[in-house]
A and B are shown apart, each in its own frame.
Chain A
Amino acid sequence: EPEVTQTPSHQVTQMGQEVILRCVPISNHLYFYWYRQILGQKVEFLVSFYNNEISEKSEIFDDQFSVERPDGSNFTLKIRSTKLEDSAMYFCASSEGRGVADTQYFGPGTRLTVL
């Protein structure tokens, strides 16, 4: 069964450093997403991406964040200057379309720890 993959599984970084989280969506999917989950809290939407541009973003997704699809398979989330409060689990998701019936499939997540 096709699945979304993410690397690394765990990233530790110092405050102020840049991090890039990587995702490989399911191959025939066209819509890509990033969500985050701070420990003990709910999953929160960050951004959606289609046709090489952001289609929607949340208030959390400020200028410190950016997304990119650098090639035909990878989808990345960059945090330019990490803060302590960026420590969270980051989930990538993808869906085939954007219709009401289109399920979003989640990757296993990257645990980001900012020290």
Chain B
Amino acid sequence: RKEVEQDPGPFNVPEGATVAFNCTYSNSASQSFFWYRQDCRKEPKLLMSVYSSGNEDGRFTAQLNRASQYISLLIRDSKLSDSATYLCVVNGGSGGYNKLIFGAGTRLAVHP
């Protein structure tokens, strides 16, 4: 089983649409959860950390379900500038506290 699993997409959506990404992780000892964004041939950039209570940052909402080992990201009112690859990231848990484990990413393409 992959350590972090994501639907690769691509998700092709019109501007203004709401889109949701899901992710599952295999290490139940993981303690930190993140969504990063990566533009083509650029570095990953932190979009938001994910907490058990769920958290929202403007148009972005992240949820964590520890029991199911499932993380989600919801983007509302999509903009052209949201087009990127969204990376689900967890820390290595007891096997690697500072080590970040990346999913392969979900590609989003927002069109006019």
Interface residue stretch chosen among B60-68, B72-80, B93-101: B93-101
Number of A-B contacts (CB under 8 A): 57
Q: Does B55 contact A (CB under 8 A)?
A: no
Q: Is the interface of B mostly helix, strand, loop or mixed?
A: loop
Interface residue stretch chosen among A13-21, A69-77, A78-86, A101-109: A101-109
Find out whether the CB atom of A42 lies under 8 angstroms from the CB atom of B103: yes
With the chains together, A55 CA to B43 CA distance in Å? 23
- Please name the residue on chain A nearest to B89 by beta carbon: A43
Q: Does A87 contact B (CB under 8 A)?
A: no
Q: Does A56 contact B (CB under 8 A)?
A: yes
- Interface size classification for chain B: 20 to 34
Q: Does A41 contact B (CB under 8 A)?
A: yes
Q: Does A65 contact B (CB under 8 A)?
A: no
- Please name the residue on chain B nearest to A45 by beta carbon: B99
A100 cross-chain contacts in B, Cβ below 8 A: 31-32, 91
Q: Does B54 contact A (CB under 8 A)?
A: no
A35 cross-chain contacts in B, Cβ below 8 A: 100
Find out whether the CB atom of A42 lies under 8 angstroms from the CB atom of B99: no
Question: Which A-B residue pairs are the 5 nearest by beta carbons?
Answer: A106-B43, A43-B102, A42-B104, A100-B32, A45-B99
6 A–B pairs (Cβ distance < 8 Å), ordered by A: A33-B98, A42-B105, A43-B100, A103-B46, A106-B45, A111-B41
14 new A-B contacts at CB < 8 Å, known A43-B87, A45-B92, A56-B98: A33-B100, A35-B100, A42-B103, A43-B38, A43-B100, A45-B99, A56-B96, A56-B97, A58-B99, A91-B43, A100-B31, A103-B49, A104-B100, A111-B41
